[in-house]
Structure 1
């Protein structure tokens, strides 16, 4: 497991109170019952932590945790 995914799961369990058994790589943010405000807050928190720009749009909630992790990892490697 990479550091980005580990940080994402930690945020989801601690800050957003998502039950740990629900967190899996193929779960979407919608599957985890995050509303649009929670998704925006999650992305802002991730942007600040990893110092990468993340787009929050209407399709963001349908991203899987793997896709979110990949976006952050790609942005970090592009720097």
Structure 2
């Protein structure tokens, strides 16, 4: 999956959560803590890898545990645009 211009980082990460990690779509809200969406440490590691493969941004596991979906997406987006 590659990101197209109109598709936001939040949309891409939300899509990953639903499609790759089978998180119910009604639970994927901007205010949801990532640690609640990714319920075990393996999911967190896999998400870090998926974000790097899909968006080209390396993320730390601690980032995923500490942020809400919206905060995490904003952080990833800011690093994508810094290139």
TM range (shorter): 0.7 to 0.9
Structure 1 residue runs without a partner (length 5+): none
The equivalent of 2:67 in structure 1 is: 63
TM-score, with normalisation over the residues of structure 1?
A: 0.85
- The alpha-carbon distance between structure 1 residues 55 and 30, as it changes in their structure 2 partners (threshold 3 A), is closer
Structure 2 residue runs without a partner (length 5+): 1-5
Paired with 1:4 and 1:60, the residues of 2 have a C-alpha distance of 15
Answer yes or no: is 1:72 the counterpart of 2:76.
yes
Q: 1:30 Cα shift?
A: 2.1
TM-score, with normalisation over the residues of structure 2?
A: 0.81
- Count of residues paired in the alignment: 78
**Structure 1 segments (4+ residues) deviating >4 Å:** none
User: Superposition RMSD on alpha carbons, in Å?
Assistant: 1.8
